[in-house]
Structure 1
Amino acid sequence: MAAEGAGGRGGRAARYPPLSALVASAIAASSAVIVLAVVHSAYDDAVSRTRTLLGHNLEPTPWHPFPHAKGRPPARAALRCAPSIACLPPLSRPRPPPEPANASSSSSLSSRGNNNNKQCPAYFAAIHRDLAPWRGAGRGVTRALLDAARRRASMRVTITGGGRRLHVDLYYACVQSRALFTVWSLLQLMRRYPGRVPDVDLMFDCMDRPAINRTEHGGDAAPPPPPLFRYCTTRDHFDIPFPDWSFWGWPETNIEPWNREFKSIKSGARATRWADRVPTAYWKGNPDVASPLRVALLGCNDTALWRAEIMRQNWDDEAKSGYQHSRLSSQCTHRYKIYAEGFAWSVSLKYILSCGSMALLIEPRYQDFFSRGLEPRVNYWPVTEMGMCESIRDAVDWGNANPGEAERVGRRGQRLVQGLRMHAVYDYMLHLLTEYASLMDFRPVAPPSPDAHEACEASLLCLADDKQRRFLEASRAEPAADEPCVLPPPPAAA
């Protein structure tokens, strides 16, 4: 309005400039548009050809869905700086004696020289269930199955040389720095257990929705499905869940590596006693992720009627303000915290459980590797999607009528993720890859593709920006002083 008023005071001449001025302005504007288009095209082309491993050619939103395969940007030369950097082997110690044939399973790995005899957490047993489709006579992981998994994968990862060399062949750019931190996680596993990580060849996808549907590949008589690793699975899919990138940090949302972040959240939780916490349910997140569940959750934002406080998270505003209002350690002030899946699987579950509040889970469909350890009414409280607001209200009313038991449910959830320290994450990775390697019917070699590159810590740090590099360096592993936990063998029926 102010601009319009300023123009009006100039009279008729100001409102109707000479024709020559209009022509000159049009030519200048057209030239500027052409120049900007050329620069933008060149920039897009340059970005798509470099630093793709970090996902810099995507919009900076934590939940950017690809509508279909053709919309996925190409990977191209993502590890461009790697050839100029020597990929040194990880820290080493004397290698263990070679295993006898057919003895590379996790059960033999766990029992070998394990003096502490520490059993793995119960949810580790899901490794056997996840890999069951490839176990048994006439089955196994073949090259043909691996090739079939490629069309769903974002990258192929091979570990060779006795667990000392890692190659990556990228097929499309992952969201943000997911690929960067996922590759880093494997390098840190090799660093923690030098010479113990098996040689493997696997396909990995970095998106949030499983793709290997049981209805297409199920049945005992059917051939095994394509083996595809990702961050989650469901009861209706064969995708193999693997620890997600955020355990090593999520720089785009300012979430620190897991050991640091959990310690910070737990410290924040101690600041408010259970009795002093707000006796309502709390959720803060992004509802604008093509999630009908989260949109419906907005309708429960009434503390008097539904006992719930629902907060919209704007990540763009948070980034501009330095994440001052999104620190997870400051969000443990309510007795109840809600977990609602978004477009698909959500990374937020472990952070919600960390508060020690009673977690209210709204019928989660997706499972990550540790959530198989959750038990309803033991370490979380189930909420139904149908009649969601009423279900939240009933859970809060029950908890406030039974505060001692509600607090114990919250504490048990917190203990579950407290046991999920990085040593447990690495043990899970090691057992999963060792079991997977025992099912392969071929010897892994470095990918023959000219686009495949060897990755090492130096090459990834070269690609990272300052903030990513800080997170990567903060999440470096050290060689393990103890043996991995003991994974029981699979049930005889499996």
Structure 2
Amino acid sequence: MGLRLRLRIPPHKSSPRSPSYLLLCVLALSFFSFTALLLYKVDDFVAQTKTLAGHNLEPTPWHVFPRKSFSEASKHSQAYRILQCSYFSCPYNAVVQPKSLQSDSGSSRRRTQQSQCPDFFRWIHRDLEPWAETGVTKEHVKRAKANAAFRVVILSGKLYVDLYYACVQSRMMFTIWGILQLLNKYPGMVPDVDMMFDCMDKPIINRTESIPTPLFRYCTNEAHLDIPFPDWSFWGWSETNLRPWEEEFGDIKQGSRRSSWDNKQPRAYWKGNPDVVSPIRMELMKCNHSRLWGAQIMRQNWEEEAKGGFEQSKLANQCNHRYKIYAEGYAWSVSLKYILSCGSMTLIISPEYEDFFSRGLLPRENYWPVSPTDLCPSIKYAVDWGNANPSDAERIGKRGQSYMESISMNRVYDYMLHLITEYSKLQKFKPEKPSSAKEVCAGSLLCFAEQKERDLLERSRVVVPSLDRPCQLPDADRNRLERLIQQKKKTIENVRYMEMKRTERGSR
């Protein structure tokens, strides 16, 4: 009987199927994890993106001020705005090769007539003298960064800005806008350049430094080597409701004609903010006595003015006095150009600081010098002298107004062009775009601007390139400038002597 081997094969068991919802859960979890990671990375990226409006920028440590608050409704809307404005607002433009001012002379597009620049343009040579022998090296620029709020690099007509610190209010935005308009006005004529800027008031580069660094700002003085550059308010100042310069000047001049000289109040007038760490303005407040000192001194509260729509601070309505006073603030003040524009005899309290155009002013020619050490009596003497010599006083006032009329935006752009051009000639290196710098164009800057800022910026936009060539820069003439400086000092000394003689007569 044979044996049969029976193999028992266990029945096949099918493996359990994974429920479909597990796959969906894995996919959903992966998607949300990726989204969360992406949002985290985007937020982190945005938090490190510095902007012309002041996002992610600390105030300058050498002049601390409150950080700017922003109006975006949410964190995400702010992030979207930063990304959109910083990275997606500048269209591609063909590279424009810079050409020299001399080579432009044969251009058929531009008119052949070329006027001479005002004499104060000679100060460009004087301002750049500290680097005439050494030139401007990469090391100079690197060391200047310690005192800079931002860096401007122009390459083939494109503007790149590297941001280090925030500037108070909208100064940075309007300054950069001005440089963009220069590129629009003179396309192909602005050379490649690498410049460090500070946007606060007081100069900081001491003349005694053995290796001075080139730093651009809005003013300078005898003890410092900071290079004066036209200030932001030429394109508007949104926080004080000031429009672009030529609009403001036109209205101020028109306002000055509402009253004849004889009908203007025979007193000196000042309206401003004394609470800016300005000893001279605090001293000026003591001169507010029409009979005793011949002066009307008024405190300006900008917060209250803003609430009232700036109705009480319109500059065109402040030309009703024969004499107007200029007093420096924390340093120099943008108010000088508006005060001179009234056509009143401007009483300038001997300034410590100078901007780019004020160095062309001449005492007793287009303003009257006032002593800071004997302030109220000095103001009183100027008022009495003017009232005793009305034709001469009116003539000084009109010359001051004419001087400011000559500082047209054409001349402002010409000054910028010549200053940048002469500075670029000193560079001992080929400028390059810093890795952290971003291209800035009109679109990206306007993208960051609030509505009020945008309105002013658009009104100051250069729409078409200039058909006129820039004015011709005068040659360097140090002796001429020295003679001018000595002439000013002598005239001021003569005025002080006149004041002293009257004081002596009064004490007898």
AA matched with 1:482: D
**Structure-2 change in CA distance of 1:296 and 1:455 (3 Å):** same
SS at match of 1:325: helix
Which residue among 299, 310, 314 is the counterpart of 1:312? 299
Mark the CA change 1:441 to 1:470 in structure 2 (over 3 Å): closer, same or farther.
same
- Residue by residue over 1:58-101, the C-alpha shift from the partner in whole angstroms, topping out at 9 and shown as x without a partner, is 99xxxxx9673687969xx99642211134549x9xx79x76xx
Name which of structure 1's ranges 365-374 and 114-123 shifts more when overlaid on structure 2.
114-123
User: Could you say if the C-alpha distance between residues 251 and 282 of structure 1 is closer, same or farther in structure 2, counting changes exceeding 3 Å?
Assistant: same
Instruction: State the match for 1:490 in structure 2.
Output: 476
SS at match of 2:297: strand
Task: Give the structure 2 partner of residue 471 of structure 1.
Answer: 456
- Structure 1 pair 58/445, CA: closer, same or farther in 2 (3 Å)? closer
Contact kept, 8 Å, 1:427 with 1:484, in 2: the verdict is yes
Q: Could you tell me which amino acid in structure 2 is paired with residue 194 of structure 1?
A: P
In structure 1, give the amino acid aligned to 2:373: M
Alignment match of 2:374 (pick from 387, 394, 416) = 387
| Helix, strand or coil at the partner of 1:382 | strand
Cα distance change on mapping 1:249 and 1:135 into 2, 3 Å: same
Within 5 Å, which residues of 2 pair with 1:48-59? 52-55=51-54
Q: 1:174 aligns with which of 157, 164, 167?
A: 167
Superposed, which structure 2 residues align to 1:148-159 within 5 Å? 148-159=143-154
1:454 to 430, 433, 439: 439
Tell me the alpha carbon deviations over residues 324-380 of structure 1, each in whole angstroms, 9 at most, x when there is no partner: 100000000000000000111111000000000000000111110000110011000
**Kindly tell me: are residues 88 and 233 of structure 1, through their superposed partners in 2, closer, same or farther at Cα, counting changes over 3 Å?**
farther
Question: Which residue of the partner structure matches residue 350 of structure 2?
Answer: 363
The superposition leaves residues 397-454 of structure 1 with CA deviations (integer Å, 9 ceiling, x where unpaired) of: 00000000000000111011100110000000000000000000111111122xx211
Per the alignment, do residues 386 and 472 of structure 1 end up closer, same or farther by CA in structure 2, a change over 3 Å counting? same
Q: Is the 8 A contact 1:51 1:463 kept in 2?
A: no
* Alpha-carbon displacement from aligned partner over 1:290-328 (angstroms, at most 9, x marks no partner): 111101100000000000000000000000000010000
Whole-Å separation in 2 of the counterparts to 1:72 and 1:140: 38
Aligned runs of 1:286-435 on 2, under 5 Å?
A: 286-435=273-422
Q: Distance in 1 between matches of 2:209 and 2:389?
A: 46
Structure 2: any 5+ residue segments left out of the alignment? 1-43, 69-78, 482-508
Looking at structure 2, the residues matched to 304 and 207 of structure 1 have their Cα atoms a distance apart, in angstroms, of: 38
Q: Say if 1:242 and 1:429, in contact at 8 Å, map to a contact too.
A: yes
CA–CA distance in structure 2, aligned partners of residues 110 and 381 of structure 1: 41
Instruction: Give the structure 2 partner of residue 124 of structure 1.
Output: 121
2:92 and 2:248 mapped to 1: Cα distance?
A: 30
Label 1:312 to 1:46 Cα distance change in 2 as closer, same or farther (>3 A). Answer: farther
SS at match of 2:194: strand
Partner of 1:209: 202
Deviation of residue 115 (structure 1)? Answer: 2.3
Q: What is the aligned partner in structure 2 of residue 12 from structure 1?
A: none
Deviations 1:204-257 (A, max 9, x none): 00000001011224xxxxx4x100000011111110000000000001000000
What SS is found at the alignment partner of 2:445? helix
**Cα deviation digits, residues 15-66 of structure 1 (max 9, x gap):** xxxxxxxxxxxxxxxxxxxxxxxxxxxxxx999877852348999xxxxx96
Q: What are structure 1's unaligned runs of at least 5 residues?
A: 1-44, 60-64, 218-222
Q: Matched residues, percent identical?
A: 57
8 Å CA contact 1:227–1:240 kept in 2: the answer is yes
Q: Give the aligned partner of residue 191 of structure 2.
A: 198
Counterpart residue number, 1:146? 141
1:318 touches 1:326 (CA, 8 Å); kept in 2? yes
CA distance in 1, matches of 2:88, 2:445: 12
| Bigger-Rg structure (1/2) | 2
Structural RMSD (CA): 2.8
Q: 1:255 aligns with which of 201, 218, 242?
A: 242
- Structure 1 residue aligned with 2:89: 85
Tell me if structure 1 keeps the 8 A contact 2:114–2:468.
no
| Structure 2 equivalent of residue 33 of structure 1 | none
Preserved contact between residue 48 and residue 56 of structure 2 (Cα < 8 Å):
no
C-alpha deviations, 1:263-315, integer Å up to 9, x for none? 01111111111111000000000001111110110000000000000000000
Q: One-letter code of the match for 1:287?
A: P
- 1:441 alignment counterpart: 428
Distance 1:422 1:71 in 2: 30
> What is the count of residue pairs matched by the alignment?
422
Moved more, 80-89 or 206-215: 80-89
- Do the aligned residues in 1 keep the contact of 2:230 with 2:412 (CA within 8 Å)? yes
What is the CA deviation profile of residues 463-484 of structure 1, one whole-angstrom value per residue up to 9, with x for unaligned ones? 0010000000000013111100
Distance 1:457 1:390, change over 3 A: same
1:480 corresponds in structure 2 to: 466
1:242 equivalent to 2:229? Answer yes
Aligned to 1:34: none
3-state SS, counterpart of residue 436 of structure 1 = helix
Q: Distance in 2 between matches of 1:71 and 1:473?
A: 28
| Cα displacement (A) at 1:120 | 0.2
**What's the secondary structure of 2:201's corresponding residue?**
coil
Whole-Å separation in 1 of the counterparts to 2:46 and 2:459: 27
Residue identity matched to 2:349: I
Letter in 2 for 1:133: P
Match of 2:132 among 132, 135, 142: 135
Taking the aligned partners of 2:298 and 2:257, their CA distance within structure 1 comes to: 23
> Structure 1 residues 372 and 311, CA, compared in 2 at 3 Å: closer, same or farther?
same
The TM-score with structure 1 as length reference comes to: 0.80
Structure number with higher relative contact order (C-alpha < 8 Å, ≥ 6 residues apart): 1
